[in-house]
């Protein structure tokens, strides 16, 4: 069982508002690993839209991703890539 | 103090505190549950989430088709909320630890998240509150619909004020705690009116602006006799109405003491006065008010508020109980009459533009014989003691009657094979409530045993009036010459073919019209049960020949107002001022 932590700066223009948060949660749920996200000392379940939204993550903020499980590496890579992608459409 | 005028549909005065049910809003009931109920509440959570997901996927499909795929995607966040483990676990935790019902636990969990989001500085995120509240409202509605409304948890006496009340809502009311009803919409024959009348709870409908002017906790007077609702009354007005309320009770009590079951006119024609059953709990009232059996038993209530269809055995038990209780008199069961303004969660009726003209009643039953036959067999089996009759609603022509009877024959054969007993000569009637049936009554009469005129629908179909639409409700006139001519024709055609005719609409319980119908030759009157003693009292004071003469005159008149006025004057002449006044309360 692998556990990986990584610091990520969110580059999404509007932070994690509904659409990006939705996609993040959908993405997180594709993996077997657990996904946690830490911001401002608070750790929440990254597979939960309610929890994620309650963190109020906006652009430029630094968060910590924590994945744990057999596909922890793939999970953290994909999620990090997503958060770092500016994608002005979202 | 504000005074609002509406339509008084159920007499009496109710004075008390308001419980307001806003349009599209509902109060979430809080209920302590026992340890044994925990698993059931969790199951209900899963059910509601699943049902809501289905609703959203339907909605999403519709929107994608109408305005394009991309907009359909706005619901994706909704799905995630419904599947959110953190949320679901939180709700389950609350159910388990706090031992509360699922609706309350769910709404508390949502509230927590909404509060957090509202505190965030990010505007985008704060806007998500709308989404979350929308989805939570859907889930709560699904939960509440399935278990009807929170009204069933009423603990103190209140006056219910609402935009409108659905049958499932009124059905779940603890009657002893309701002082009165006041609604924005509805007319004389709206569901609220019928229920209020049969439960003898004062009610005023069609107030239009009641919910805008009344708040929960307000003191209110609901005067169902005059149609006035008074909000936050002054002490003086309050005193006046207390007096009126006492007087009403005394006078009404006198006329509502049931006498012998059988009744005949002053000159000796015997008339059947029976009761309509809207809710199973009304059954004991039949004996209490001295009704001669049941002229209309609405079977929909067996199908209400549940997810599965009741089995033949379950229906048989329910119908048999009614037949036993009403013996030695008889009961007329009306087969399923869903659609229209009647509510039934299942079998699901697709959305229709004009439900009153749509797939309902006998049309639905003939299209779904597998559902219909279960009911027919159950009613047949309940008829062993030969005091059960059967009628089909919304017959629009002879073919429907024939098809329904064919199915009935099939059911009889099957029951015989199964070795189950029933009354082979069970009386079969057609409800006459569609103008096309009224105009072909002579044809229908040759192939059935009796008619029952359903005036509520007959009037609205004949006059093209939706009785629940407050803008046109004034056009709903039982005394309209067209309606009177139709009724007269139905009765004449029936009698020529030796078929007896009853009426089960509200019209038969209204004194002036009972008088007129008596003159037209109506054989049997069925009405909301508390009206029974009053109408019997009326009938026993009327000479048939006077009523016949009144029919001749009334049919010459050209408007409903003229007809009503004429009948009122005639009745007053015949009965005397005092009796007339009490009768008309």
Q: CB distance A48–B76 less than 8 Å?
A: no
Query: Which pLDDT does position B67 carry in this prediction?
Result: 57
Residue B87 region by backbone torsions, left for phi larger than 0, else alpha for psi between -120 and 50, else beta: alpha
At residue B14, the 3 state secondary structure works out as: strand
Residue B84 contacts A, CB cutoff 8 Å? yes
**CA distance linking residue B576 with residue B563, whole number of Å:** 19
Rounded Cα–Cα distance for residues B491 and B522 (Å)? 7
| Minimum-distance CB partner of A17 among B85, B113, B125 | B125
- By the 8 A CB rule, do B536 and B259 touch? yes
pTM of the model: 0.60
Q: Are B107 and B136 in contact (CB under 8 A)?
A: yes
Strand locations in B6-88, DSSP E? 7-10, 13-21
**CB within 8 Å of A11: residues ≥ 6 apart:** A59, A60, A83, A84, A85, A86
Query: CB B329: neighbour CB atoms within 10 A?
Result: 18
* Residue B447 predicted with pLDDT over 80: yes
Domains in chain A (CATH in brackets) are: 2-84 (3.30.1340.10)
- pLDDT band (50, 70, 90) for residue B289: confident
**How much of chain B exceeds pLDDT 70, in percent?**
86
Q: Which stretches within A9-87 are classed as H helix?
A: 18-28, 49-55, 72-84
Task: Please say if the pLDDT value at position B491 is more than 70.
Answer: yes
In a 13 Å sphere around the CA of B448, the CA atoms on its Cβ side amount to: 35
Locate the chain A residue with the closest alpha carbon to B122: A56
Q: pLDDT digit string (tens) for B103-142?
A: 899 999 988 888 888 777 666 666 677 778 778 888 888 8
Residue B346 has pLDDT above 60, yes or no: no
Q: What's the confidence (pLDDT) of residue B339? A: 60
Distance from CA of A49 to the nearest CA of B (A): 6
The pLDDT tens digits of the residues spanning B347-376 come to 455 667 777 888 889 998 998 898 899 999
Among B93-97, B314-318, B355-359, whose mean pLDDT is lowest?
B355-359
Instruction: Give the Cβ contact number of residue B140 at 10 Å.
Output: 20
Each residue of B158-197: b (16+ CB within 10 Å) or e? Answer: bbbbbbbbbbbbbbbbeeebbbbbbbbbbbbbbbbbbbbb
pLDDT, tens only, B558-571:
999 999 999 999 99
| Beta-carbon separation of B80 and A26 below 8 A | yes
Looking at the partner chain, which of A17, A26, A47 has a beta carbon nearest the beta carbon of B124? Answer: A17
Nearest Cα neighbor of B124 from A58, A8, A40 is: A58
- Euclidean distance between CA atoms B294 and B333, whole angstroms: 8
CB atoms under 10 Å from CB of B389, counted, come to 25
Domains of chain B and any CATH numbers: 2-26+151-253 (3.50.30.10), 35-142 (1.10.274.10), 256-584 (3.20.20.60)
Residue B298, H or E segment = strand B294-298
List the strands of the sheet with A2-9, edge to edge: A2-9, A62-69, A34-39, A42-45
The nearest CA of chain B is from the CA of A53 a distance in Å of: 7
Residues A61, B387: Cα–Cα separation, whole Å: 79
Q: Which residue has the higher pLDDT, A89 or B498?
A: B498
Which tokens is B260 given? 């012998």
Phi then psi for B15, rounded to 5 degrees? Answer: -125, 130
Helix or strand or coil: residue B466? coil
Vertex B151: Cα angle to B1 and B250 (nearest 5): 60
pLDDT (average), residues A72-76: 92
- B125 neighbourhood in chain A, CB within 8 Å: 15-18, 53, 56, 58
Active site members of A:
17
Is ipTM strictly over 0.85?
Answer: no
Q: How far apart are CA B287 and CA B285, in angstroms?
A: 5
Distance, CA of B291 to CA of B300 (rounded, Å): 22
Q: How many CA atoms lie within 13 A of B123 on its CB side?
A: 0
Element containing residue B171 per DSSP (H, E): helix B167-171
């Amino acid at each position: 069982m692998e556990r990986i932590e990584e610091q990520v700066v969110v580059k999404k223009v509007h932070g994690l508002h509904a659409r990006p948060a939705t996609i993040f949660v959908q993405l997180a749920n594709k993996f077997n690993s657990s996904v946690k996200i830490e911001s401002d000392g608070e750790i929440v379940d990254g597979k939960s839209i309610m929890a994620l939204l309650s963190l109020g993550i906006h652009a430029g903020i630094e968060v910590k991703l924590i994945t744990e499980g057999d596909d922890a590496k793939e999970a953290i890579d994909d999620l990090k890539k997503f958060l770092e992608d500016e994608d002005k459409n979202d | 103090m504000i005074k609002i005028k509406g339509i008084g549909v159920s007499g009496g005065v109710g004075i008390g505190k308001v419980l307001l049910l806003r349009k599209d809003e509902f109060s979430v009931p809080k209920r302590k549950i026992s340890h044994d109920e925990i698993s059931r509440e969790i199951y209900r959570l899963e059910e509601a989430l699943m049902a809501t997901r289905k609703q959203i996927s339907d909605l999403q499909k519709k929107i994608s088709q109408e305005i394009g795929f991309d907009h359909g995607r706005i619901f994706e966040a909704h799905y995630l909320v419904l599947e959110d483990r953190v949320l679901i676990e939180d709700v389950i935790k609350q159910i388990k630890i706090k031992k509360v019902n699922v609706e309350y636990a769910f709404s508390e969990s949502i509230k927590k998240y909404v509060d957090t989001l509202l505190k965030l500085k990010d505007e985008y995120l704060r806007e998500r509150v709308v989404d979350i509240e929308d989805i939570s409202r859907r889930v709560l509605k699904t939960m509440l619909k399935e278990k009807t409304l929170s009204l069933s948890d009423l603990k103190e006496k209140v006056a219910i004020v609402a935009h409108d009340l659905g049958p499932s809502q009124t059905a779940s009311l603890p009657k002893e705690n309701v002082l009165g009803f006041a609604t924005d919409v509805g007319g004389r024959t709206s569901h609220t009116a019928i229920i209020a009348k049969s439960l003898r709870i004062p009610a005023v409908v069609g107030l239009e602006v009641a919910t805008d002017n009344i708040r929960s906790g307000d003191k209110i007077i609901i005067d169902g006799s005059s149609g006035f609702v008074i909000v936050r009354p002054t002490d003086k007005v309050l005193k006046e109405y207390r007096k009126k309320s006492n007087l009403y009770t005394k006078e009404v009590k006198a006329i509502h003491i049931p006498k012998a079951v059988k009744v005949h006119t002053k000159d000796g024609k015997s008339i059947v006065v029976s009761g309509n059953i809207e809710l199973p709990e009304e059954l004991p009232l039949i004996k209490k008010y001295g009704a001669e059996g049941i002229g209309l038993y609405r079977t929909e209530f067996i199908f209400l508020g549940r997810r599965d269809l009741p089995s033949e055995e379950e229906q048989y038990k329910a119908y048999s109980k009614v037949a036993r209780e009403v013996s030695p008199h008889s009961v007329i069961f009306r087969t399923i009459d869903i659609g229209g303004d009647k509510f039934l969660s299942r079998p699901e009726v697709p959305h229709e533009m004009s439900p009153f003209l749509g797939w309902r009643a006998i049309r639905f039953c003939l299209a779904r014989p597998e559902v219909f036959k279960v009911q027919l067999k159950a009613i047949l089996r309940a008829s062993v003691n030969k005091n059960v009759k059967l009628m089909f609603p919304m017959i629009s022509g002879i073919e429907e009657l024939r098809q329904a009877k064919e199915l009935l024959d099939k059911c009889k054969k099957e029951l015989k094979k199964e070795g189950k007993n029933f009354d082979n000569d069970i009386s079969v009637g057609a409800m006459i409530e569609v103008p096309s049936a009224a105009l072909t009554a002579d044809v229908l009469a040759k192939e059935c045993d009796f008619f029952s005129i359903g005036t509520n629908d007959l009037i609205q179909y004949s006059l093209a009036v939706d009785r629940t639409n407050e803008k046109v409700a004034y056009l709903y006139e039982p005394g309209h010459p067209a309606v009177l001519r139709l009724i007269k024709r139905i009765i004449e055609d029936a009698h020529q073919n030796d078929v007896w005719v009853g009426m089960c609409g509200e019209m038969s319980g209204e004194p002036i019209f009972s008088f007129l119908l008596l003159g037209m030759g109506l054989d049997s009157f069925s009405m909301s049960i508390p009206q029974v003693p009053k109408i019997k009292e009326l009938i026993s004071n009327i000479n048939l020949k006077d009523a016949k003469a009144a029919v001749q005159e009334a049919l010459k008149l050209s408007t409903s107002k003229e007809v009503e006025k004429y009948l009122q004057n005639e009745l007053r002449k015949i009965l005397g001022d005092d009796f007339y006044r009490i009768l008309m309360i």
